[in-house]
Structure formats: C-alpha cells, structure tokens
Amino acid sequence: MDVLQRVASELSTDENRAEQGLGAVFIAVRIATDAKTFSQVSRSMPDAGTWMQRAPFSAGRTGEMLAMATPAALKRVLRLAGFSDEQIMKLCTIAGAALRDAAPEAYEESLKKLPLLKAESD
C-alpha cells in the first residue's frame, strides 16, 4: 500500500482529501528544509509535488505558507481543512515514516522544526 492509500485508509477518507493533507505536510517540510535537502524528497517521492499543489492554501498568500513550518501552524491549516486532531496525528506519523524511508536526511532536518512528523518506530 502506498502512502496516499495508507493515509486514505487510516483516516477513513478519500484519496483527494488524503492528497490535500499530505500536500500540507510536504509544504511544511519544504519550508522547514533547504532546497538541496528537499530535492531528495522530490527525487524519491515524486508524488509530493502533486500533493503540494492540492494542499489547502497552496495558492494562498506566502505568509500563510511560510507559517506552516511550525507544528501549531500546520495543525491549524489541517484543522481548517477539516481534519480532526486524531487524523492530524495519524497523517503526520504516516507522512513522517514515508519521508524517513524515502529521504532520511530530509526527515531528520524536518524533525527539527516539525517534531510531529516523528515516525512510530523512532
């Protein structure tokens, strides 16, 4: 099962909504990491770019997007998109595990600003 299907299944939602949630998380990861580090994510997780385009506020003001690089702001954006706190934690854990497996350096860098991405087996 790929990460999108896992998010949809574990959050009991459709893939479109799962893409929105993953997009918000990966926008936050992009902002939390430098360009070189994030390029690892782009190479190893090519769907991340598509998810980011579907994120809530992906076409929003720059300030809204920059603010997403904090746990509280990411949670706020996801809540506004209709995710419950329980869904947010599951989403972040699943996304964190996928990021850890695909781009370990980006995962470690992201954890510094986004500790809610900590994968279950850490």
Share of the chain above pLDDT 70, in %: 87
Cα gap 110→72, rounded to integer Å: 14
pLDDT at 50 (0 to 100): 94
pLDDT at 63 (0 to 100): 46
- Per-residue pLDDT for 23 more than 70? yes
pLDDT at 68 (0 to 100): 63
Pick the closest to residue 68 from 32, 34, 99, 42 (CA basis). 32
List the domain boundaries for the chain: 3-116
pLDDT in tens, 49-82: 999 999 886 444 444 555 566 888 889 889 988 9
Are 41 and 103 within 8 A, CB to CB?
yes
Q: Which residue has the higher pLDDT, 27 or 59?
A: 27
pLDDT at 73 (0 to 100): 86
Contacts 24+ apart (CB under 8 A), 117-122: 117/25, 117/29, 117/92, 117/93, 118/93, 119/93, 120/93, 121/97
pLDDT at 14 (0 to 100): 95
For 35, the token pair is 């360009």
Containing H/E element for 1?
none
pLDDT in tens, 83-95: 999 999 999 999 9
pTM over 0.75: yes
Cα gap 95→99, rounded to integer Å: 6
Average pLDDT of the chain is 88
